[in-house]
Amino acid sequence: MKFLKLIKLGLKNVTSHKKRTFVTIITISTLFGVLLCFSSIINGLQNAIIKWSNTAFGEDIYIITYPCGQGVISCDEEKASNTDAKSVAKKYGGDFAGTTGIYDGLGLAIDKNIALPVIREQLDPNTPNILITLSDANAMNLPEEEKSFMKLNNPSEQKSNELLSSSVGKIYTDIRGRTAKIVGLTAYSGNLKIAENDWETDPLDIYLGQVWTEANSYYIDGDQLIDAKKSADYVYYVALFKFSSPNDAYQFLSEVNGRELFGDRVAAISGKMELLRVIGFFRIILIVTAIIIMVFSFIKIIDEDSKNIALYKTLGATNFDIIVTYTAYLIGTTILSILFSIIIEIALSLITSGIYSSRLIDLLNGHYIQQIHDFIPLIGFDRTVLITIFSMLIPTPVCLILTIDQLSSKNITKRLKK
């Protein structure tokens, strides 16, 4: 009962020192709230990219690896079949899905079942069928004299759908003169960017710029490719792996040289992980800042309460009782700071969502050739958000350790004599 009374007395200090406590709470919660908001927005963007990639390319994630390394022009099928990446994939729940070839460095042959979500036109059994990028589709629709100056910036939803309707079903000719029927478009090849011009930078581009799509031309593997295989000067065989979880695929690619076949799920996670290092650095700075703020505020409160503390001691309160009382005050201040920081995080994230949602929808629909118009909430929670919240508890014990001597009878007496 006595312990509970001491805690209750300590929590009363939160209201008895309203002004100082308010300043402390608002300062700490604002600093951490902004950091939490940053983490939340990154998670919201990552979730949106994964959602659009899943819709455009199916939920299975296919990874190709380069058994002979990149930079060489050929690699035999046996080496691709016996790749060491099989054991790594198994560790992360991935399945070996066979091998396939890149012919003359111009196009990768993939099974039609893998490409089904992307195929928009009936396959022609009499000719090779191909999926091309939005950039290739754009080049096909330009006059010859303009192609060398052509640059397709992040296309809008309208532009992507125009390129889709004007390209699918046509005959594509590669630089070696080989032809194939276009049965679908993959994606825009390049990094996501919400700013309209190359020389402009939007705050969201800090993350979006980390997400890079390495889109290529993909031949649909089938009997009609036999002649193309025979006529190729060189073939680079790659190993193909299938994953059901973006996080597993990301872990796999952190150990193996390769890339995602369709979509940006791995790139979305990778971009977030890059920024987590920055968040971790700022988290340390904020923890130190919060400790400094709480220490100075706490010392000032103890100084103002010197008479009360002396009165408590004359009434029989021990040093332990005083420590418990003021520890309760610190904990109460910390809990309120956490609650306000979460409120600030949610409020800022929702405001950002309202500002950017329509622009992001157009960007992602253009990038992945989709027509999804769901509101994009830039709010997401992960381990980083939880770590940041729990890190707000660190200043309390540190502050108590640094100021505990200020609660001694000797120091209280000194302050009363001034």
Same domain, 73 and 162: yes
Q: Is 54 within a domain?
A: no
For the stretch 18-35, pLDDT in tens is 887 888 888 888 888 888
pLDDT, position 149: 45
Residues 259 and 301 in one domain: no
Does one domain contain both 393 and 247? Answer: no
Among the three residues 196, 229, 263, which one is the final residue of a domain in this structure? Answer: 263
pTM here is 0.86
How many other C-beta atoms lie within 10 A of the C-beta of residue 404? Answer: 14
Residue 22 and residue 67 in one domain: no
The pLDDT of residue 43 is 93
Sign of the Cα pseudo-torsion (164, 166, 171, 173, in order): negative
Higher pLDDT, 241 or 390: 241
* Average pLDDT of span 357-374: 92
Separation between Cα atoms, residue 398 and residue 303, nearest integer Å: 19
Cβ contacts of 79 within 8 Å, gap of 6 or more: 67, 68, 237
* Residue 256 structural domain: 59-263
- Given a cut of 50, whether residue 140 has pLDDT beyond it is yes
Does 66 share its domain with 204?
yes
Measured on CA atoms in the order 154, 131, 365, 270, is the torsion positive or negative? negative
Q: Which of 306, 316, 321 is nearest to 406 (CA)?
A: 306
Tokens of 321: 């009782």
Lowest-confidence segment of 153-157, 188-192, 241-245, 309-313 by average pLDDT: 309-313
Task: Tell whether 89 and 112 lie within a shared domain.
Answer: yes
Residue 122 to residue 348: CA distance in whole angstroms: 47
Q: What tens digit of pLDDT does each residue of 198-227 get?
A: 677 788 888 888 888 777 788 887 666 656
Q: Are residues 337 and 255 in the same domain?
A: no
- 401 and 315 within one domain: yes
Q: What is the number of residues in the chain?
A: 418
- Verify that 258 and 302 share a domain, yes or no: no
**Quick one: 124 and 240 in the same domain?**
yes
Give the per-residue pLDDT at 396.
80
Q: Which of 263, 293, 314 is the last residue of a domain?
A: 263
pLDDT at 244: 94
268 located within any domain: no
Domain limit, last residue, from 238, 263, 288: 263
pLDDT of residue 61: 94
pLDDT for 222-261, tens place per residue? 666 656 666 677 788 889 999 999 999 999 999 998 899 8
Report yes or no on 101 lying in a domain.
yes
Buried b / exposed e across 335-347, counting CB within 10 Å, b at 16+?
bbbbebbbebbee
Co-location of 146 and 203 in the same domain: yes
Q: Return the structure tokens found at 319.
A: 């040093």
Exposure class string for 169-195: b at 16+ Cβ within 10 A, else e: eeebebeeebebbbbbbbbbbbbbbbb
pLDDT at 150 over 70: no
The CA distances from residue 385 to 44, 352, 402, in Å, are: 12, 17, 27
Number of domain units in the chain: 2
**Could you tell me where the beta strands, DSSP code E, fall in 119-265?**
129-132, 171-173, 179-185, 190-191, 212-213, 218-220, 235-243, 258-260
| Pair (120, 148) in one structural domain | yes
